[in-house]
Amino acid sequence: MYDLIIIGGGPAGITAGIYAARQKLNTLLITKSFGGQMLKKSGMIENYPGFEEISASELIQKFERQLRKQKVDIKINEAMKVKKIGGHFLVITKSKNRFESGAVIVASGADPRLLRVPGEKEFLGRGVSYCVTCDGPLFEGKTVAVIGGGNSAFEAAIFLVKLARKIYILESGENVRADAKNQERVKKTGKVEIITKAKAKEIKGEKFVNCLIYLDRKTGKEKTLAVEGVFVEIGTQPATSFVKNLVDFNERDEIVAEFETCQTKTPGLFAAGDCNVGRFKQIVTACGEGAKASLAVYDYLQNKL
């Protein structure tokens, strides 16, 4: 029986692990992989204190290295279900392992939000991608579309500039939402065409994607873009279904948790980072919540004795 099980190996889960070890909590961290959403980051990270500029892969390696120096058990696996039985928790993994603990921190972050249009699933890995850093190099010399008008979409387009021949950014609203710096960078490339009021309707192709159909909301007519790649960058969906019996969710499926302690409605179950209702989703805020949650777990377990 562990004192604490942490689910997630992104910034929130790793920080929770480092703090838990320092509190001498007997801790298990279960994660599908290390890095989380940082692995999707194409440009440099410029807003993590201590590093004026650092690549996401280098920062996550530093996080992981620091965690692995602590006394924390690590299992690369997926948590499928969390149950509360009497005063303790049972976590069941994809490979049917069962682990018990006095407390659980859910730090499972978020997965890419799906476009939900015909062709998206069918062409996944054959032109449709949610990760420009992973798949961008496959589109050298090709014309591609990036769906979304926020910072992720703009950063994806900037990453693709050195590879792709031409890039379209499609935003369904009237205006893009990327910050001024990213808009400026995109403009400077001269390779990116931004189409607003454009709602993606269907991805088509034969073996691989060859076009994207969108509704031009200015004219009400459907238009076709000849593209060989479609990068979906329309935000994220919290990865929280495995605790649905134990927590409340808001309308975005984020776990309701107290601001100060990250405590959910179930005593002993905490939620930190992008999976909870916190408004600002950043590396530094996820780390902060991982720390808060671990310190709160320590208090919770002390009070239980």
Ligand X SMILES: Cc1cc2nc3c(=O)[nH]c(=O)nc-3n(C[C@H](O)[C@H](O)[C@H](O)COP(=O)(O)OP(=O)(O)OC[C@H]3O[C@@H](n4cnc5c(N)ncnc54)[C@H](O)[C@@H]3O)c2cc1C
Is 270 a binding residue for ligand X by CB under 6 A? The answer is no
Q: Give whichever of 21 and 133 is closer to ligand X, judged by the CB atom.
A: 133
Task: Say if residue 231 is exposed, middle or buried (CB neighbours under 10 Å; 0-12, 13-18, 19+).
Answer: buried
Question: Nearest approach, Cβ of 145 to ligand X (angstroms)?
Answer: 17
Q: Are 225 and 231 in contact (CB under 8 A)?
A: no
Tell me the site size for ligand X, rule CB under 6 A.
Answer: 35
Question: Nearest approach, Cβ of 217 to ligand X (angstroms)?
Answer: 26
CA distance 81 to 184: 45
Of the candidate residues 79, 176, 232, 291, the single one contacting ligand X (CB under 6 A): 79
Of the candidate residues 178, 209, 230, 239, the single one contacting ligand X (CB under 6 A): 239
Is 8 a binding residue for ligand X by CB under 6 A? The answer is yes
Is 108 a binding residue for ligand X by CB under 6 A? The answer is yes
Each residue 193-232 as x (binds ligand X by CB under 6 A) or -, in order, gives: ----------------------------------------
Is 45 a binding residue for ligand X by CB under 6 A? The answer is yes
Is 242 a binding residue for ligand X by CB under 6 A? The answer is yes
Q: Looking at residues 274 to 293 of the shown chain, list those that interact with ligand X (rule: CB under 6 A).
A: 274, 281-284, 286
Q: Give whichever of 129 and 205 is closer to ligand X, judged by the CB atom.
A: 129
Question: Nearest approach, Cβ of 88 to ligand X (angstroms)?
Answer: 19
Is 109 a binding residue for ligand X by CB under 6 A? The answer is yes
The residues binding ligand X (CB under 6 A) are 7-13, 30-33, 35-38, 40-41, 45, 47, 78-79, 107-110, 152, 239, 242, 273-274, 281-284, 286
